[in-house]
Amino acid sequence: MNCVFRRTFTSVSFIAPIIAGKMNNLQPRLQTLAQLIPPLTASMHKGECGRVAAIGGCEEYTGAPYFVASTALRLGADIAYVLCEKDAGTVIKGYSPDIIVAPYLRSVDNPDRTLDDVHSKVEQVLDKVHAVSVGSGLGNDANIGQSVERAIRAARERQLPVVLDADALSLVCTSPDIISGYANAVLTPNAPEFARLCNALGIAAGEPIDKTAQLVAARLNGPTLLIKGVRDVITDGQTVFVCDETSGLRRCGGQGDMLSGAVLTFLAWGELYKRGAWKSTARDSISPALVPMHAAYAASMLTRHASFLAYEECARATMSSSVLDQMDISFDNKFEEILKAVKPK
């Protein structure tokens, strides 16, 4: 079986438009989502298609932040940083020369920097990027946790879009105030993580999942939730999107990190979109308040489709690297024809 061969599917089918007042099974149109994608022109400069950062990576978990950053680059972000623990830095640098690796996070075993020094280094990166992802491969080191909590608060001060996944969600369970009330954030829990989040907020986890998700999002009062499952449920507490894009049957570790990287990319593009960095001839537009919802849906759709493509080729041999290899094909399948039709002004 050759897992290198990649099959291309043309997909320009339109998803049901949003109907005002309804809360279930809403799915934004592909043309609407495409508004968040920067058009490529000869006059663009490095960084204008997005600069992103992934905060994560420790001695045990080096692949997770790599998948976040590599997904962002494969979807079309220009620059991707990884801020990781010292022992993870050399390993991640060896994975790819395309990623800028900053091994600034201090752990209990490597306390060679003060907390203030680490924070200063992190802030320097935050000042350069359009969005940041936090949590992939962090582990549960107490020193790293302190730095990460300060990084989240610093991102909020800068009004940066934030994606929180994996170990960062444990911080939210312990201290919900670090993200509550912040609308420019997307949390991406799986089922066990969502159950812990419900418990931390005093909400009974149960079915239907979209209703419970709305309660949690409303309690957090701002962030968007993307709850991973058979169907991905996305809500800001008011609107609910449900992504039921067909995915592969393998559940190898790392796919959630790629989802975080995809959300990160669309949030960065969303920031540029809100600033008016480009215009198009399309009639659809996205209100600034709904950019995180649309970014989360687009990321869910692309990651699930990449998983499907990888499984079609590799079946039980599918690994997360197989899914990563399909991410650009997934993007082209969903958006290539639409982007050709929507000419930038």
- State residue 18's pLDDT score: 35
Q: What is the mean pLDDT of the chain?
A: 90
Classified as helix, coil or strand, 243 is: strand
Instruction: Give the pLDDT band (50/70/90) at residue 1.
Output: very low
Counting residues of the chain whose pLDDT is more than 90, the rounded percentage is 80
Amino acid at position 153, single letter: R
pLDDT digits (tens, 9 = 90+) for 65-112: 999 999 999 999 999 999 999 999 999 999 999 999 999 998 777 777
Q: Quote the CA–CA distance of 323 and 21 in Å, as a whole number.
A: 36
**14 pLDDT above the threshold of 80:** no
- State residue 311's pLDDT score: 97
Q: Which among 95, 97, 152, 93 has a CA at the least distance from the CA of 119?
A: 152
N-terminal to C-terminal alpha carbon distance within the chain? 45
Q: Quote the CA–CA distance of 219 and 187 in Å, as a whole number.
A: 13
Q: Which among 125, 158, 164 has a CA at the least distance from the CA of 296?
A: 164
Check if the beta carbon of residue 295 is closer than 8 Å to that of residue 28. Answer: no
pLDDT digits (tens, 9 = 90+) for 239-283: 999 999 999 999 999 999 999 999 999 999 999 999 999 886 667
What does DSSP assign to residue 141? -
- State residue 229's pLDDT score: 95
pLDDT digits (tens, 9 = 90+) for 297-334: 999 999 999 999 999 999 999 999 999 999 999 999 99
E strands, 203-336, in order: 224-227, 232-235, 240-243
Classified as helix, coil or strand, 194 is: helix
Q: Would you call the peptide bond into 208 cis, given omega within 30 degrees of 0 as the criterion?
A: yes
Q: Quote the CA–CA distance of 328 and 309 in Å, as a whole number.
A: 11
**23 pLDDT above the threshold of 80:** no
pLDDT digits (tens, 9 = 90+) for 170-213: 999 999 999 999 999 999 999 999 999 999 999 998 878 999 99
Greater pLDDT, 335 or 342: 335
Q: Quote the CA–CA distance of 38 and 163 in Å, as a whole number.
A: 20
- State residue 7's pLDDT score: 42
**33 pLDDT above the threshold of 60:** yes
**235 pLDDT above the threshold of 60:** yes
Classified as helix, coil or strand, 176 is: helix
- State residue 281's pLDDT score: 61
Classified as helix, coil or strand, 126 is: helix
Q: Quote the CA–CA distance of 224 and 221 in Å, as a whole number.
A: 9
Q: pTM, whole model, 2 decimals?
A: 0.92
Query: What is each CA distance from 216 to 88, 298, 345, in whole angstroms?
Result: 34, 22, 40
**28 pLDDT above the threshold of 70:** yes
pLDDT digits (tens, 9 = 90+) for 125-150: 999 999 999 999 999 888 889 999 99
Segment (H or E) for 268:
helix 255-274
Check if the beta carbon of residue 136 is closer than 8 Å to that of residue 164. Answer: no
Check if the beta carbon of residue 245 is closer than 8 Å to that of residue 301. Answer: yes
